[in-house]
Structure 1
Amino acid sequence: MDASTHQFDFDKEVDRTKSHSDKWDKYKGQDILPMWVADSDFQSPPAVIEALQERVSHGVFGYTHASETLTDIFVKRMKTKYNWDIQPEWVVYLPGLVCGLNIAARALTDEGQTIVSPSPIYPPFISSAKFAERPLVKAPVKLAEGRWMPDLEEAEEQLSGKGGLLQMCNPLNPGGTVYTREELEATLAFAEKHDLFVCSDEIHCDLILDGEKQHIPFASISESAEQRSVTLMAPSKTFNIAGLGASIAIIPNAKLRQRFSKIKRGIVPGVNVLAFTAAKAAYQHGEAWLQEQLCYLAGHRDYLMQEINALPSMKLEHIEATYLAWIDCSDLPVDNPHRFFEKAGVGLSPGLDFGNRKFVRLNFGCTRKTLEEAVRRMKAAVSSLA
């Protein structure tokens, strides 16, 4: 995108240190750049900020519900962006995606049934099986032609034969893989063979960094996929409104939707009025902002890959989606890569939290200035080992 066409300033430095930010308060008072939890440092789209200001000026914040307009916007968005025809009644609003993972773990399995999860993976996948007290089978995520993919065949021999739930993450976090249609069809075949429902976390679906890649919702590939699935999406990562808490479960199967809603009832609160306001404005007016953000993040991704892969002891595979880099530190002569870089002034997510202590995850949803300083510190730390 030509610089003259830019409407939005993603290089703008916003001080988050006095905003009760989980991300920035973790290292409060320390010279450590926070590059860990998956929220970005970008101000949300102007339309979102304006809509929130207008709603706040109303001054009354009572109990609320989703507007038909928001649901209509979301239904149209699924058709326009992903060629997926969904019905309004399939939509279940949630105050966050993690509660959706946990509800699905309980609603889509019976006692003794298995939950299959990729590993390494976003930690709430693993904890949802633990909290639901279901046996967990890990499908190891392996490198296949430069892309991280779960090896379902390796998980197959550990299955109980009693059915259960397959958790998937598309795009993959960590790793950034965008599933192809063939890969989704193979995943469906595995689920059909072993009588598994599927919970598909697609929260990063709008953050595709490769222009030639296309997100395909798992449930959209066939009637069978649709009827056995719960799809989880949200505007939170896309438009940096995670702190407001607005997520969406899409459940075409009426019986599954009823079970999901029953587990949720009385325990999971509704979505708040400001979250609904932000979600509607983001989906309705945020597309131009999103496209510029994608260009900005793709530039970060390319820079990061060049710099990390120039180091002799670290490796970063191509990231197709997300602003999260899954960095292989296996050849780094340190016992704890996360602690090593933390001491060098860069606060990354420990790979152990995801399932592999020899990796770290770096959030590059930040300004170029911050990213370049983080890379400078990491390079200096690695050089000190020579």
Structure 2
Amino acid sequence: MFNTVNRDNTHAIKWELYRDKNLLPMWVADMDIASPSAITDALVKRVSHPIYGYTHPWPSLNQSVVNWCKSQYDWSIEADWIVWMPGVVPSFNLACLLYGKGGRVIVQTPNYPPLLAAAERQGCTAVNIPSLFDQNRWQLDWATLEQELAHPDCHLLILCNPMNPLGALLSADDLEKIAQLCQAHEVIYCSDEIHCDLILDGSQHVPAGSIEALAERSITLMAASKTFNIAGLGCSFAIIPDKKLRSAWQQRMTDLIPHPNFLGYIGAEIAFSECQQWHQDLLVHLKQNQQRIEQALQPLDGLIYRPQSATFLAWIESTADDQPIAQHFIKAGIMPSEGKFFGNSNHARLNFGTGAETLDKALGLLTDYWPERHGN
């Protein structure tokens, strides 16, 4: 069911960028498996109508998000809290532009490149908060976070939850701490939760806006794109419970941020209303892939992989301070995401959102190469 699909002649960035280098692509965060057939059927049906004009969200689309939030997170939201966006990247850039006030914007590291770059691109100063490995999971550096939130020129906190590339998930207790700190220092919290439906260990995702103390100062960013492999359709949404924050957001995006692709709307509605079983089956497949990586890397000297709760992304650490392991992956015939783009040049991110046969091929290449790495 979740075999690798040949993506030739689809202009897929993941496969085309390094095609001439003969590298197995395991970098950019989309999957090599087919999207749910219900989504494909709905898109084909709509495309058969020959007019592709302007389309705004409709009631059943919004209701699908309301129902999903209730069933998946036990979060009761109102339909008018939803603001549709063309992606989470323009969304957190808009947050920096709107709420950063040209001041200090806190971002955790490591993190994926667009989020690391957003504050500076919108005229703010990025303040990086490191992640620490403690009690078997990656956590925020709470002491540094509290110190930086107290800075008088700090107005915005942006976190990725689940974390990309680490895969860690913030707990309800973590979010309560964040809520208290944001309240105390009057800081807005923007939470990128695009991977929140890819929880592999049965943990419960807690959306930022579901924390009562954050309801008046949070923007929760979500999408069907990563979970249902429809990122190319360009559709996401911000959930903003506070009317004042939401109104400012909508006004600022006018004529600046385009509406999502109407096919993205369709994909999202079908994903959230008809693809629950596919979703559950996907989680089983991804968990098995995660275990494959853990088992294959364990005997390889110089590499550390600490599986976390979520995502189809593995953060592979090097034990040598001067050893950028991405270069060894490339020599082995695999293209990972290089750690330098995430804030640590020695480590690498590996995308395991693919068929088992492709992952096994990649792990075989790495295992065969690794004993010879010092001679290459």
TM-score by length of 1: 0.94
Equivalent of residue 25 in structure 1, options 11, 16, 38: 16
Equivalent of residue 225 in structure 1, options 203, 214, 217: 214
Equivalent of residue 308 in structure 1, options 287, 292, 297: 297
SS class of match (1:384): helix
Equivalent of residue 138 in structure 2, options 148, 159, 167: 148
Q: AA paired with 1:165? A: L
The answer to whether the 8 Å contact 1:107/1:256 transfers is no
Match of 1:248 in 2: 237
Equivalent of residue 320 in structure 2, options 331, 335, 355: 331
Deviations 1:222-271 (A, max 9, x none): 1x211100000000001000000110100111111122112211111111
Q: AA paired with 1:377? A: L
The answer to whether the 8 Å contact 1:138/1:155 transfers is no
Matched, 1:276 2:265: yes
Matched, 1:236 2:206: no
SS class of match (2:48): helix
Match of 2:281 in 1: 292
Match of 1:378 in 2: 366
CA positional deviation for 1:278: 1.2
Match of 1:6 in 2: none
Equivalent of residue 86 in structure 2, options 77, 95, 102: 95
The answer to whether the 8 Å contact 2:110/2:166 transfers is no
User: Could you tell me the percent identity over the aligned residues?
Assistant: 37
Q: AA paired with 2:359? A: L
Q: Give the distance between the partners of 2:339 and 2:178, measured in 1 at CA.
A: 25
Q: Give the distance between the partners of 1:383 and 1:370, measured in 2 at CA.
A: 21
Q: AA paired with 1:177? A: A
Equivalent of residue 364 in structure 1, options 339, 345, 352: 352
Deviations 1:55-78 (A, max 9, x none): 011111011111110001111111
Match of 1:214 in 2: 204
Match of 1:131 in 2: 121
Q: Give the distance between the partners of 1:25 and 1:152, measured in 2 at CA.
A: 41
Q: Give the distance between the partners of 2:141 and 2:343, measured in 1 at CA.
A: 15
Match of 1:165 in 2: 156
SS class of match (1:17): coil
The answer to whether the 8 Å contact 1:106/1:263 transfers is no
SS class of match (1:385): helix
Q: Give the distance between the partners of 1:179 and 1:316, measured in 2 at CA.
A: 19
CA positional deviation for 1:29: 2.8
Equivalent of residue 345 in structure 1, options 333, 351, 354: 333
Q: Which runs of 4+ in 1 moved over 6 A?
A: none
CA positional deviation for 1:308: 1.1
Match of 2:343 in 1: 355
Q: AA paired with 2:121? A: F
The answer to whether the 8 Å contact 1:348/1:360 transfers is yes
Q: How many equivalent pairs are there?
A: 373
CA positional deviation for 1:276: 1.1
CA positional deviation for 1:371: 0.5
Deviations 1:139-159 (A, max 9, x none): 101111221122131244445
Question: Which consecutive unaligned segments of at least 5 residues does structure 2 have?
Answer: none
Q: Give the distance between the partners of 2:127 and 2:181, measured in 1 at CA.
A: 14
Deviations 1:332-374 (A, max 9, x none): 8x64321221122100001111101111000000011110111
Q: AA paired with 1:45? A: P
Write the mapping of 1:78-89 to structure 2, written as runs, cut at 5 A: 78-89=69-80
Equivalent of residue 49 in structure 1, options 35, 40, 43: 40
Q: AA paired with 1:110? A: K
CA positional deviation for 1:199: 0.2
Question: Which consecutive unaligned segments of at least 5 residues does structure 1 have?
Answer: 1-8
Q: AA paired with 2:129? A: A
Q: Give the distance between the partners of 2:339 and 2:300, measured in 1 at CA.
A: 19
Q: Which deviates more, 294-303 or 310-319?
A: 310-319
Q: Give the distance between the partners of 1:36 and 1:69, measured in 2 at CA.
A: 35
Match of 1:185 in 2: 176
Q: Give the distance between the partners of 1:193 and 1:337, measured in 2 at CA.
A: 42
Q: AA paired with 1:309? A: Q
